[in-house]
Amino acid sequence: MRTLLILTVFLLHSCTPKTSVKVLENKEYSIKEVQDAFISGEYSVRDLVSFYLDRIEKIDQAGPKINAVIQINPDALAIADSLDQLIRAGQVKGKMFGVPVLLKDNIDTKDKMYTTAGSRALANSKPLQDSWVAAALRKEGAVILGKANLSEWANFRGKQSSSGWSGVGGQTKNPYVLDRNPCGSSAGSGAAVAANLCIVAIGTETNGSIVCPSTSNGIVGIKPTVGLISRVGIIPISYTQDTPGPMARTVEDAAICLESLIGVDPNDLKTRNNNRKLSTKFISSLNSDALSSKRIAYYTASKGINKEVDKLMDESIEILKSKGAVVIELDSIFSPEAYGHSFNVMKYEFKEGLNQYLKNLGAQNPIQSLTELISFNLEDSVELMHFGQELLIECDSISFLDAEAYLNSLKSMKELTQKDGIDRVFESLKLDAIIAPTGGPAWKTDHENGDKFELGSSSPAAISGYPNITVPMGFVGDLPVGISFFGQAWTEEQLIAMVYSYEQATTHRRAPKFLKN
Closest CA to 187 of 63, 70, 349: 70
Q: Catalytic one among 44, 50, 95, 104?
A: 104
Residue 108 and residue 43 in contact, taking contact as beta carbons nearer than 8 Å: no
Question: For residue 6, is it within any domain?
Answer: no
Q: Which helix (H) or strand (E) holds 280?
A: none
Residue spans of beta strands (DSSP E) within 291-397: 295-299, 326-330
Cβ atoms within 10 Å of 498's Cβ, excluding its own: 29
Q: In which residue ranges of the chain is pLDDT below 70? A: 1-24, 278-280
Domain count of the fold of the chain: 1
- How many helices (H) and strands (E) the chain has is answered by 17, 13
Q: What are the Cα distances from residue 261, in Å, to 67, 94, 213, 231, 276?
A: 26, 12, 20, 11, 15
Is residue 412 annotated as part of the catalytic site, yes or no? Answer: no
Q: How many residues does the chain have?
A: 517
- CB neighbour class for 269 (10 Å; exposed up to 12, middle 13-18, buried from 19): exposed
Closest CA to 263 of 125, 379, 149, 139: 139
- Residue 329's pLDDT is 98
Q: DSSP secondary structure string, 379-441?
A: H-SSTTSS---HHHHHHHTS--TT-HHHHHHHHHHHIIIIIIIIHHHHHHHT-SEEEEE-B-S
Question: For residue 5, is it within any domain?
Answer: no
Question: For residue 36, is it within any domain?
Answer: yes
d(CA 285, CA 465): 23
- Residue 365's pLDDT is 85
- Residue 11's pLDDT is 36
418-436 residue pLDDT tens = 999 999 999 999 999 999 9
d(CA 485, CA 482): 10
CATH of the domain at 58: 3.90.1300.10
Q: Is 481 helix (H, G, I), strand (E, B) or coil?
A: strand
Residue 323 and residue 501 in contact, taking contact as beta carbons nearer than 8 Å: yes
Question: For residue 46, is it within any domain?
Answer: yes
Q: DSSP secondary structure string, 18-52?
A: PP-SGGGSS----HHHHHHHHHHTSS-HHHHHHHH
Closest CA to 176 of 511, 508, 474: 511
Q: Residue 180's domain spans which residues?
A: 23-506
Question: For residue 157, is it within any domain?
Answer: yes
- Residue 515: what residue type? L
Is residue 342 annotated as part of the catalytic site, yes or no? Answer: no
Question: For residue 511, is it within any domain?
Answer: no
Does the pTM surpass 0.85? The reply is yes
Question: For residue 515, is it within any domain?
Answer: no
Residue 9 and residue 112 in contact, taking contact as beta carbons nearer than 8 Å: no
Is residue 209 annotated as part of the catalytic site, yes or no? Answer: yes
Q: Catalytic one among 185, 316, 412, 501?
A: 185
Q: Catalytic one among 30, 125, 161, 209?
A: 209
Question: For residue 1, is it within any domain?
Answer: no
- Residue 23's pLDDT is 53
